[in-house]
Amino acid sequence: GAGVSQSPSNKVTEKGKDVELRCDPISGHTALYWYRQRLGQGLEFLIYFQGNSAPDKSGLPSDRFSAERTGESVSTLTIQRTQQEDSAVYLCASSLEGTGNYEQYFGPGTRLTVT
């Protein structure tokens, strides 16, 4: 079946512009996660959606970052007034449930470059 998809695959933007990244999770997965990965580093947790519960936003680095999810489907991550330090690969993952003990399936990522 279809895996997690993300778009765009690459995004180059000028400093100060807003960007919107999209994630389509695996159908039927109630949990959705966003991570950021800087070059040569591990993944940083950003935000986590589980069903209709309030999202866990504890990993968002600043108020320029926000995310929404429509029901149990598509999610968008928005970065306002982008800065050069926002340059990274943004990865989305989904899992059957978000209560733990379920593996996460990752999308291919969006590589964001802020010039």
Q: Where do contacts with another protein occur on this chain (CB under 8 A)?
A: 31, 33, 35, 41-45, 48, 50, 56, 91, 93, 95, 97-109
Distance in Å, CB of 19 to another protein, minimum: 21
Distance in Å, CB of 17 to another protein, minimum: 27
Q: Which is nearer to another protein, 18 or 97 (CB)?
A: 97
User: Read out DSSP for 8-74?
Assistant: -SEEEE-TT--EEEEEEPPTT--EEEEEEE-TTS-EEEEEEEETTSPPB-TT--STTEEEEE-TTS-
Distance in Å, CB of 27 to another protein, minimum: 18
Query: Is residue 34 within 8 Å of residue 75, measured between CB atoms?
Result: yes
Q: Which is nearer to another protein, 2 or 14 (CB)?
A: 2
How far apart (Å, rounded) are the C-alpha atoms in residues 69 and 75?
Answer: 4
Q: Which is nearer to another protein, 77 or 93 (CB)?
A: 93
A 10 A CB-CB count for 26 gives: 17
Q: Which is nearer to another protein, 45 or 113 (CB)?
A: 45
Distance in Å, CB of 20 to another protein, minimum: 21
